[in-house]
Amino acid sequence: MILIDGKKAAAELRQELKHEVTDLKAKYNKVPGLTVILIGDLTPSQIYVRNKEKSANEVGLKSEVIKYPDSVEEKTVLEKIEELNKDETVSGILVQLPLPKHIDKQKVIETILPSKDVDGFHPMNVGNLSSGYESSVPCTPLGCYLLIKKVEPNLNGKKAVIVGRSNLNGKPMTQLLLKENCTVTITHSKTKDLKAECLEADIIVAAVGIPELVKGDWVKKDTIVIDVGINKTDNGIVGDVDFDEVSKKAKALTPVPGGVGPMTIACLLKNTIECFKRSQI
């Protein structure tokens, strides 16, 4: 069984991106900039943002975090985004989710210029991705995609089963694998026989939020299994895949932690650099 090392893959990607930033700096005399807006004091969000900032600095991006208290008015946030949209030193804007209830998430997402939307959540980017055009791609599925390609560069005709249909993970994952000529089945909470669907798969991507949902007898040998889940349990953090069981069956599997998670941030940096490059044309 191949244990897909997301930490190592992310470190390699950051190294590549660091070289790219050096080259861009030599060519344009400026570097891509990432601005993150953090609202409130949720501990997980603070940790994510700190890690994003650290990684951005590591690859040489210009990075800035703008913090607001929970009580900030929606108008203040939208005005700040408008200001950042016009700022040429800002290549990418990310508003850390979740947001306080009084702030309309969709309004925030749609205020970010599609060309600076490093999360790939703007409807324009969602549409472009599903039409097969150039777009920002949500960071977690992009990371999953890069990990799958490391194990299996040619995905032509492979059967992929995506468990979970969220806008954040399942749906964009489907589009990425369709582009690679996979035959993709997207499953969800109303799917009749999830085990039977998974047993057909050459690739399984589980993004559900249910601890150890995918079992060993749901998986063929030779299946590549990507576990997106991050679930807090009494036994610590576990994924959506039963690691002990599935690792005995699958061809390749991502661990949790140390699989998809580290790739998500590296892909955010990659998206920022892509936004910068597109803005220079």
- Residues making contact with ligand NAD (CB under 6 A): 140, 163-166, 168-170, 187-189, 191, 194, 207-210, 228-231, 260-261, 264
- Distance from C-alpha of 225 to C-alpha of 208, rounded to nearest angstrom: 14
Residue closer to ligand NAD by CB (options 188, 278) is 188
Q: Which of 147, 207, 148 is nearest to 172 (CA)?
A: 207
Write down the residue that tokens 């009749």 correspond to.
Answer: 192
Residue closer to ligand NAD by CB (options 31, 166) is 166
Q: Which of 17, 3, 9 is nearest to 226 (CA)?
A: 3
Tell me the β-bridge partners of 227. 206
Q: Is 5 a catalytic residue?
A: no
Q: How many CB atoms lie under 10 A from the CB of residue 9?
A: 20
Residue closer to ligand NAD by CB (options 87, 245) is 245
Residue closer to ligand NAD by CB (options 190, 221) is 190
Both tokens of 226, joined, read 């990507």
Query: Roughly how many angstroms between the first and final C-alpha of the chain, as a whole number?
Result: 44
In whole angstroms, the minimum distance from the beta carbon of 207 to ligand NAD comes to 4
In whole angstroms, the minimum distance from the beta carbon of 76 to ligand NAD comes to 27
In whole angstroms, the minimum distance from the beta carbon of 272 to ligand NAD comes to 17
Q: Which of 119, 202, 227, 240 is catalytic?
A: 119
Q: Which of 61, 75, 76 is nearest to 18 (CA)?
A: 61
Q: Is 96 a catalytic residue?
A: yes
DSSP string, 166-198: -TTTHHHHHHHHHHTT-EEEEE-TT-S-HHHHH
Q: Which of 96, 158, 227, 249 is catalytic?
A: 96
Using left for φ > 0, alpha for ψ between -120 and 50, and beta otherwise, residue 148 falls in alpha
Residue closer to ligand NAD by CB (options 60, 261) is 261
Torsion of CA 226, 174, 268, 275, to 10 degrees: 160
In whole angstroms, the minimum distance from the beta carbon of 30 to ligand NAD comes to 29
In whole angstroms, the minimum distance from the beta carbon of 108 to ligand NAD comes to 17
In whole angstroms, the minimum distance from the beta carbon of 187 to ligand NAD comes to 6
Q: Is 119 a catalytic residue?
A: yes
Residue closer to ligand NAD by CB (options 60, 229) is 229
**Cis before residue 153, ω within 30 degrees of 0?**
no
Q: Which of 279, 245, 257 is nearest to 86 (CA)?
A: 279
Catalytic residue ranges:
52, 96, 119
